[in-house]
Amino acid sequence: MKLYDSMLYPRETSQRYVVDLCGYWNFKIDKEHNGRGDGWQNGLDESILMAVPSSFNDVFTEKKIRDFAGDVWYERAFYVPEEWKEKNLEIRFGSATHKAEVWINGHEMGKHKGGFMPFAAKLNDIVKFGEPNIIVVAVSNLLDFTTLPLGRIEMLSDGRQIVLPHFDFFNYAGLHRAVKLVVTPIERVEDITVVTDIQGTDGIIEYDIETSGESDVHVEVYDEDGELVGESSGKRSEIVIEDAKLWCPGNAYLYKLKVKIVNVCEVVDEYYLNVGIRTVEVKGNRFLINNEPFYFKGFGKHEDCEYHGRGFNPVVALRDFELLDWINANSVRTSHYPYAEEFYQLADRKGIVIIDEVAAVGFQAVMNAVDKSVFEEEIVHSETLEYHKLEVERLIKRDKNHPSVVMWCLTNEPDSKNPHSEKYFEEIYAHGRTLDAQNRPLTYANFMYIKFEECKLHQFVDVIGLNRYWGWYEKPGEQFVDAMESFKNDLEEFSTPGKPIIFFEYGADTMSGVHKLPSVTFSEEYQVEFLDAYHKMFDDFDNVIGEQVWNFADFQTTEGPLRVDGNKKGIFTRTRQPKQAAFTLRNRWKKIGDNHKS
C-alpha cells in the first residue's frame, strides 16, 4: 500500500459521491517523539479536539505548542455503507504540511512528502463496510535542505527542537485543506488535459482523457445557459465552439466540458470540468492574453488569516476576491506555494489572472544566516533537485486546466549568483518546459541583492520577475532619492535582454493607523509615497508589464527584530481592512486599465 497523488478535483456527479470528513478531529502533539513506538497509529487516547482544515499553531495559548517542531497526530472515525462495495474508494487529503503518514484501522497506508499538494489512499482492501473505520494521520512540520520550502532544525538548551525556516512567513502546519471520502466507479475518468485556441470567432477545445478502462468516451460542451454547443467522441479529439465567448481577465466565461464513459448505452462514469477558452503568449516584451497585451496589476499574497493560519477558509477567500475587485486588481502570484484548489476555481469564475508558484523558496543565502550557499551542498544537487522536479510536475498536473493560470513561477529569490545554481536551474526549467500541454511561459523571482550580470537564472525564463525594496531595506527615509537612482540603474540592467519584466514584490512595512507629517518609515504616508515613486519608475520603462505589490495583506512570520507581530507590508490589514495605500492603488489601477502600455 502507498499514498499517491490525486490531482483530479473530487466532484459529485450522477456516478460519483463525495463525503466531507472535515470538522473536529481528535488531536495529539507528540512531545516526546515516541508516538509510533507507543502505538498511536492504532488510535489516540487522552487526545484533544482540532479543527480540520486549519493550522494547529494558533489554536493554542501555549507558546511551546504554537512553535512545536515534530509530529502532530490526527484521528477520526468514518463509515462506508455496504452498497459501495463495488465502487472505487479513496480517502483524499487536500494537503498536509509538510509530511504525512496515514493509517487506516491500524494498517499503514504510506507516506507523503510535500505540504501543498493533494494525495490519496485506496481503501477497498482495508475498509470495513457498515462499521466504524479509524483513520490516523501523523503530520510533520520539520524542514531541511531537501524539503520545499527549505529550512533547518536547531536544538535548544532545554532539549526542545525548533524549526528555523529559510523564508519570511510562519511555518504553519497541519491538515490545511479538506479531507474527503471519494467514491467513484471501477471504470472511471482519471485525468483530463485541455488546450484551447482561437480561430477567428470560433473557439477550439482540444482534450485528452485518461480512463481506467476501454469503454467508449463521449464529451459534451455546454455554455453558461446550459445549452449544448459542441460534442465529440473518443479519448482524444477537439471540439469547435462557434462564436465562442472567451475567458478574459475581469470578464470570465466558463464552458462546462462533460465527460461520460459509456458501456453498451449505459453511463458508467461522469465527470465535468469548467473550461475557459483563451490563449497565452509572450511576444517581444509583451505578455498577450487572447492576442491582446496584458498588464499585471495585483499582489503577492499568502494563505494566512487569524486563527486558521494557513488552513483554507472559504469566507476569507471570498472576502479576498471581493477586495481584489474593489481595488481594481487583475492578478495574483501564489507566493510562495500552490494554494488550495478552491482558490483557483474562484479565480476562474472571477476573471483573476494567476501566476502559479511552486514552493521552491528558501534557496536565498542572506536570510538563511548560514556560512555558504545552499547550492554548495551536495544533497541539493541530487535529492533536492529531483524533489523540486517532482513538485513542478505536481503543480502543473493539478492546475493545468485552469484558465486563470497563465504562467508558472518555479522558484522565489534563490541564490542565483552562485555558479552551482546555473546547472540546477537549467535542469529545473528544461524539465518544466516538457510538462505543460498549453506551453505557458515560465518565470522566477529575482532577489534584489543579485545583480543582472551575476544572475545565472534569467537566461532560462520567458518573463523576468523582480523583487525590489530600494527605499526600504536599502536607503530608506531621507536617503530615498539615492535609493531611486540605485533602483533605476538596477532596472536598466535587467532590461538589456529585452524580455518583459514584472515586479513581483515591492513595498514597505506599514503600521495601520500610524500617520506622520512629514512621513517617516512605518507610517501610512510613507507607504503611499513609496508606491507612487515605484509606479513612476514602472511607467518610464516600456518593458515593465506588471506590478504586484508585496503584500495583499499583513501576514504572520517567525519572531524576529525586523517584524512586529508579522510582516506589515500589507495593503490591507490581516483582518482585511484597507490602509491608506489601498485607495492610492484603487485609483491608479482604475486609471491605467488591463491593457496599460498596449
Active site residues: 413, 505
Taking Cα atoms as reference points, which of 121, 128, 120, 139 lies closest to residue 52?
139
Q: Are strands 189-199 and 202-211 parallel, antiparallel or unpaired?
A: antiparallel
Cβ neighbours of residue 575 under 8 Å, at least 6 residues apart?
A: 306
Residue indicated by cell numbers 464552458: 255
What's the CA gap between 179 and 53, in Å, rounded?
Answer: 8
Q: Helix and strand tally (H, E) in the chain?
A: 9, 31
First to last CA, the chain: 55
What's the CA gap between 472 and 127, in Å, rounded?
Answer: 57
Q: 181, 80 in Cβ contact below 8 A?
A: yes
- Phi and psi dihedrals of 403, rounded to 5? -65, -25
User: Prior bond to 10 cis, omega within 30?
Assistant: no
Classify residue 517 by burial, with Cβ atoms within 10 Å: 0-12, 13-18, 19+. Answer: exposed
Residue 307, all three cell numbers? 486563527
What are the C-alpha distances in Å from 376 to residues 144, 410, 419?
15, 20, 9
- Tell me 39's DSSP state: T
b/e burial code for range 121-157 (CB count within 10 A of at least 16 → b): bbbeebbeeeeebbbbbbbbbbbebbbbbbbbeeeee
- Tell me 110's DSSP state: E
Residue 295, all three cell numbers? 498588464
